[in-house]
Amino acid sequence: GNSVTQMEGPVTLSEEAFLTINCTYTATGYPSLFWYVQYPGEGLQLLLKATKADDKGSNKGFEATYRKETTSFHLEKGSVQVSDSAVYFCTLGGDYKLSFGAGTTVTVRA
Amino acid sequence: ETGVTQSPTHLIKTRGQQVTLRCSSQSGHNTVSWYQQALGQGPQFIFQYYREEENGRGNFPPRFSGLQFPNYSSELNVNALELDDSALYLCASTAPTGIAYGYTFGSGTRLTVV
């Protein structure tokens, strides 16, 4: 079945540091890939998406590229802010459902 | 109307009781899914409804059931509550173009079973 493995946290960074969260997936067919973000006490928000191989999703300075050859969808941001502190979920869409990774907690210190 | 609205936001129930959680989806979003998120974990798929019919189910027992209504609202019902049912329950909807469009999530209902 479909599954997602993402880098375990927690991750603590200083403001303006570079952020990478690794994500790999296992899937049949041609899934869509997403990154969702969950701020403290809130539900999930779609951060970015990619629907086919070599697509690059981007939003709010975050980027991720759908790499079919390495089955990866790593999330990157060049300069993080305190407001980026949240839990990030790598997510695979297929078979009528979303399959989530365990989540990576990111804390950005001023 | 935009967004996905869930009610109530918090709920405390006793083991063995029944609970109904409610969700109001975006207009035009005729696919709705429910997810269970235990503390510190990623959400787990419970089931999905499309045009008022269940069309996908995760690894949850039959005491988890749902309904979807023509006005883009839906319900999650859980019977015979167990302590392990304590979690954040998330409702998500998407447009007819399907999963590649991405799901819009509500803020969730925090259920505590004591």
Burial code (b: 16+ CB inside 10 Å, e: under 16) for B15-41 equals: eeeebebbbbbbeebbbbbbbbbeeee
pLDDT at A50 over 50: yes
pLDDT digits (tens, 9 = 90+) for B19-42: 999 999 988 888 999 999 999 899
Q: How confident is the model at residue B110 (pLDDT cuts 50, 70, 90)?
A: very high
Whether the CB-CB separation of B95 and B12 falls below 8 Å is answered with no
Instruction: Determine the pLDDT at residue B84.
Output: 97
Mean pLDDT computed over every residue of chain B: 92
Q: How confident is the model at residue B94 (pLDDT cuts 50, 70, 90)?
A: confident
**Averaged pLDDT for residues B50-65:** 94
Chains A, B: CB contacts within 8 A come to: 58
Six-digit token pair at B56? 């996908």
Hey, of B44, B53, B99, which one would you mutate to test binding to chain A, going by the most A CBs within 10 A of its CB? B99
pLDDT at B1 over 60: no
- Chain A residues with at least one Cβ partner in B under 8 Å: 32, 34, 36, 42-46, 49, 51, 89, 93-103
Instruction: Determine the pLDDT at residue B28.
Output: 81
**Separation of alpha carbons B61 and A19, rounded Å:** 39
**Separation of alpha carbons A43 and A36, rounded Å:** 10
First to last CA, chain B: 36
pLDDT digits (tens, 9 = 90+) for A3-36: 999 988 899 999 999 999 999 999 988 899 999 9
Instruction: Determine the pLDDT at residue B44.
Output: 96
Task: Indicate yes or no: CB of A36 within 8 angstroms of CB of B105.
Answer: yes
> B99 to chain A: which residues are within 8 Å by CB?
32, 93-94, 96-98
DSSP B19-31: EEEEEEPPTT--E
Whether the CB-CB separation of A48 and A57 falls below 8 Å is answered with yes
> B45 to chain A: which residues are within 8 Å by CB?
97-99
**Nearest CB to B99; choose among A36, A93, A100:** A93
Q: Which one, of A34, A23, A39, lies nearest residue A108 by Cα?
A: A39
- In the block, residue with structure tokens 């899937």: A27
